[in-house]
Amino acid sequence: MQDTFKIGNKTFSSRFILGSGKFSLNLITACIQHAGAQIITLALRRANTDGIANILDYIPKDVTLLPNTSGARNADEAVRIARLARECGCGEFIKIEVIRDSKYLLPDNYETIRATRILAKEGFVVMPYIYPDLNTARELQNAGAASIMPLGAPIGSNKGLCTIDFIKILLDEIDLPIIVDAGIGRPSHACQAMELGAAACMINTAVATAGDIPLMSKAFKQAIEAGRDAYLSGMGRVLETASASSPLTGFLDTTAEN
């Protein structure tokens, strides 16, 4: 049976969500192909209608669009951007980003909850980006969120899973797909997130700033798949002391006669 997960009314087999914010447009199609991504994010400002550089021309039709509310400083702005994205033909999926902190770019969890309540009632498939906090995640689940997207580290930092202990709490307590977003800088970071039981990882900066972008897309795809397989297989035990993998008999028997 194929290993899949569901967001809203759509089922996905790829657990690699590709961000497009830092890509040159002519590399997006290649990245999608090498990553095997079935969901790609886009900012509304990149889906322009003037015909000059429309990102929608570079995304295969079978890929689900995930517009984000990048640039929103409060819930009202996020709601306005979401509605515009739907009017532009981007569909019902929306990633809520509400950031008013210009130095650390941390999400405003309170305003994110408020935007999620409004948009979920309007039929959007809401995927909120948050600082990993259990109470916030519970509020979002009650508000109708389709998934939770906790940050691993500050946006664009490539530092890895700095918030791993808090992500573990969400995985244990929240009955929604947990998609680790922001800060994942290496394939090993993505593999680690998937080993914990994350439903998917969203990657942007780590791929966009790599020397060979299509090859790095492939590396992340393989790492995500490996981490998922490890999670499904059940991780091996961890001991505080050594334990021989083969019986130690005869040559290490201190009671044997010389």
Nearest partner of 109 among 84, 141, 139, judged by Cα: 139
- Is 140 within 8 Å of 112 (Cβ atoms)? yes
> What's the pLDDT tens digit per position in 57-91?
777 788 899 999 988 999 999 999 999 999 888 88
* Residue bearing the bigger pLDDT, 109 or 247: 109
The alpha carbon torsion through 203, 227, 211, 130 (nearest 10 deg) reads 20
> What's the pLDDT tens digit per position in 108-159?
999 999 999 999 999 999 999 999 999 999 999 999 999 999 999 998 899 9
**pLDDT for position 258:** 52
> What's the pLDDT tens digit per position in 101-110?
888 999 999 9
Nearest partner of 17 among 224, 239, 242, judged by Cα: 224
- The C-alpha atoms of residue 107 and residue 149 are separated, in whole angstroms, by 11
Q: Over 60: is that where the pLDDT of 46 sits? A: no
From the list 22, 95, 218, 221, the catalytic residue is 95
Q: Over 50: is that where the pLDDT of 52 sits? A: no
CATH topology of domain 5-233: TIM Barrel (3.20.20)
| Domains of the chain by residue range | 5-233
**pLDDT for position 51:** 44
Q: Over 70: is that where the pLDDT of 254 sits? A: no
Q: Is 121 a catalytic site residue?
A: no
Tell me how long the chain is. 258
Sheet of 200-203, strands arranged across: 149-150, 125-130, 93-96, 64-68, 39-43, 16-18, 200-203, 179-181
> What's the pLDDT tens digit per position in 157-202?
999 999 999 999 999 999 999 999 999 999 999 999 999 999 999 9
Nearest partner of 227 among 196, 206, 205, judged by Cα: 196
Nearest partner of 187 among 154, 151, 225, 155, judged by Cα: 225
**pLDDT for position 14:** 94
CB-based contacts of 43, cutoff 8 Å, min separation 6: 20, 21, 67, 68, 70, 71
- The C-alpha atoms of residue 64 and residue 32 are separated, in whole angstroms, by 11
